[in-house]
């Protein structure tokens, strides 16, 4: 797990000195580079450029740009959310909106070392934001429960940044549909509300990868039931294995699929049951039955490694 277990739903707080906060100039930077982080981020002509500080991330190129920004970025802030070092890059847009990128989407082991440089899109409920701060969330006894990032608007109100804290890792499901060919589905939900869904033939080759965004419908932490709506952004169809020229020329194509699904945690097997609520994608479900997704991978299928310049 990545230390996000006790993060609570987002809330809004009034700053202790709202007038001073509202009148202060935005405390955001044009570049951020904490010593403990594996990534440096900087604004270049309204875009956000990322530079890997270590080869362990497995990026194909040392520098990448955040993809899918829905406007011009004017400021950056990086901080941790949870009970551990869990870096989130907050990107302030020129109209006061906020977009998010989790560094765990950039090659983290818990997420199958997959790569997703896609922004969260606009975080709901955040507007007229001028700056950010990092700080603790206190419980009823006056002790810190966890650390988080607050977005502060021009009136001095503090809005807690809410990450997607389930399911902590890449998930895998296997099905054959009676064909004898075992298919592997990999579902990777990142803390910044982006996700990858990859279909492949087990122990053989990849078929395609969708990149999309999630939004919460229902987050029942007590009963471990989570419902999400999804919007797909791109689909990458993998060329035949060995066709290097086709692979070099292949590019993700726009995708428009939308829908929703439910994840229910099954403690006895430490897995999730996925039920499709709406939309065209089956996500490994068959004839209306739930698909079982586990954290353990059962094959040697290669992990997706997408860069969508």
- Give the pLDDT confidence score for residue 84 in this predicted structure: 80
Q: If you write DSSP's letter for every residue of 63-104 in order, what string do you get?
A: EEE-B--SS-EEEEEEEE-BSS--EEEEEEETTS-EEEEEGG
Element containing residue 23 per DSSP (H, E):
helix 18-23
Of 86-100, 206-220, 288-302, the one with minimum mean pLDDT is 288-302
**Comparison of pLDDT for 215 and 7, the residue scoring more:** 215
Task: Domain count for the chain, please give it.
Answer: 2
List the beta bridge partners of residue 266: 271
Say if residue 94 is in the same domain as residue 130.
Answer: yes
Residues 6+ apart with CB under 8 A from 80: 86, 87, 88, 134, 147, 149
Contacts of 118 (CB under 8 A, 6+ apart): 66, 67, 68, 105, 194, 211, 213, 233, 308
pLDDT tens digit sequence for 242-293: 788 887 888 999 999 999 999 999 987 789 999 999 999 999 998 879 999 9
Domain boundary among 160, 191, 209: 160
| 82: its two tokens | 């949870």
pLDDT at res. 21:
33
- 199 lies in the same domain as 147: no
Is residue 282 situated within a structural domain? Answer: yes
Residue 11 has pLDDT above 80, yes or no: no
97 part of a folded domain: yes
Per the model's pLDDT, the better-predicted residue between 302 and 141 turns out to be 141
Residue 1 counted as domain residue: no
Domain that holds residue 234: 171-294
């Amino acid at each position: 797990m990545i230390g996000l277990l006790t993060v609570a739903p987002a809330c809004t707080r009034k700053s202790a000195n709202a007038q001073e906060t509202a009148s202060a100039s935005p405390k955001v930077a044009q570049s951020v580079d904490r010593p403990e982080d594996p990534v440096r981020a900087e604004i270049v002509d309204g875009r956000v450029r990322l530079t890997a500080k270590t080869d362990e991330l497995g990026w194909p190129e040392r520098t990448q740009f955040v993809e899918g920004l829905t406007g011009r970025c004017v400021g950056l802030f990086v901080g941790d959310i949870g009970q551990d070092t869990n870096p989130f890059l907050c990107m302030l847009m020129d109209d006061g909106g906020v977009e998010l990128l989790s560094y765990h989407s950039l090659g983290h082991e818990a997420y199958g070392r997959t790569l997703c440089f896609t922004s969260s899109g606009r975080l709901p409920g955040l507007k007229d934001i001028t700056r950010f701060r990092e700080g603790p969330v206190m419980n009823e006894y006056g002790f810190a429960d966890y650390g988080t990032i607050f977005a502060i608007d021009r009136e001095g109100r503090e809005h807690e940044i809410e990450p997607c804290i389930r399911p902590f890792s890449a998930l895998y499901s296997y099905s054959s549909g009676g064909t004898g060919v075992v298919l592997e589905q990999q579902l990777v939900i990142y803390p910044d509300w982006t996700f990858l869904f990859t279909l492949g033939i087990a122990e053989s080759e990849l078929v395609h990868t969708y990149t999309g965004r999630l939004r919460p419908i229902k987050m029942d932490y007590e009963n471990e039931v989570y419902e999400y709506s999804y919007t797909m952004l791109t689909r990458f169809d993998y060329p035949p294995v060995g066709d290097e020229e086709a692979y070099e020329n292949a590019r993700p194509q726009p995708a428009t699929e939308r829908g929703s699904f439910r994840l229910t945690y099954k403690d006895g097997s430490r897995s999730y049951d996925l039920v499709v609520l709406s939309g065209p994608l089956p996500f490994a479900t068959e004839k209306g039955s739930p698909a079982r997704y586990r954290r353990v991978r059962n094959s040697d299928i290669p992990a997706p490694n997408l860069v969508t310049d």
